[in-house]
Amino acid sequence: MHANTEKLMIDARRAYELGRVRSALPVLKWILPLVAVSIAICGEPVASLSLGALLSVTSVYFLWRGQKLGQGVQAGLVIGTATFLIPIFAEVTGKCCALGSHAVLCSTLGLVAGAAVGYHILKVRETEGRYLLSVTAMTILTASLGCAILGLSGTAGLVIGVLIPTIPVYAVLKTRYQNQV
């Protein structure tokens, strides 16, 4: 290949990668309001900012990488946002402490979110591990913004709760798919 063409190819590749980062950035329009609500309601700005930064970096990375990782971001954000709103709503209405201990509340939320993730992957019949990783990571990170209000035990409960139903559903789906092939 001609040296100029090779240089052009490198430049084109750089332009492509930058274009992908640019096209991934609008996801922040979804995440930043959640972080703002989390900071305002939970009263744990450091935890909210750290989780928000982690969620932002992860989602932009997944969307930049694309393929299965990118495809799972939207579903994860939707399930995660629905889960995020429950502890926030409980805090705003003053019913947070009446719902039980932090870990129990978030574990229950996690179970519901995990069931939603499981239902989603069954519905789209997606057996690719990276897709599951993307949906699960997005769900956990988004929902944990709401659980920042409940501290570390709440977040840990959420993670466990999400993983309990997700992993078996994925295992069943993968086995069934492999048997079909």
Partner 1 sequence: MNGSQYEDLNRQMAKLADGDRSAFEPIFELVWPSVKNFAERALNNSPDAEDAAQSALLKIFAQASGYKKELDALPWILTVTAFECKTIRQKHTRRREQGAMDLVIDQATDNSLNSEEILIEKDLYAALNKVIESLPLSDQETIKVAFERKERPNIPPATFRKRVERTIKKIETLWSENYAR
Pattern 41-80, partner 1, x by CB under 8 A:
-----------------------xxxx-xxx---------
16 counts as binding partner 1 under rule CB under 8 A:
yes
Look-up of token digits 């084109």: 12
Give CA–CA dist 17/10, Å, rounded. 11
Give CA–CA dist 40/95, Å, rounded. 17
19 counts as binding partner 1 under rule CB under 8 A:
yes
Find the shortest distance in angstroms from Cβ 96 to partner 1: 40
Start-to-end Cα distance in the chain: 42
Stretch that binds partner 1, among 9-17, 80-88, 152-160, 161-169 (CB under 8 A): 9-17
155 close to 54: Cβ distance less than 8 angstroms: no
Give CA–CA dist 129/127, Å, rounded. 6
Q: Closer CB to partner 1, residue 70 or residue 154?
A: 70
12 counts as binding partner 1 under rule CB under 8 A:
yes
Any alpha helices (H) in 43-150, and if so which ranges? 45-65, 67-92, 102-124, 129-147
Interface residue with partner 1, options 9, 40, 57, 97 (CB under 8 A)? 9
Where do contacts with partner 1 occur on this chain (CB under 8 A)? 5, 8-9, 11-13, 15-16, 18-20, 22-23, 64-67, 69-71
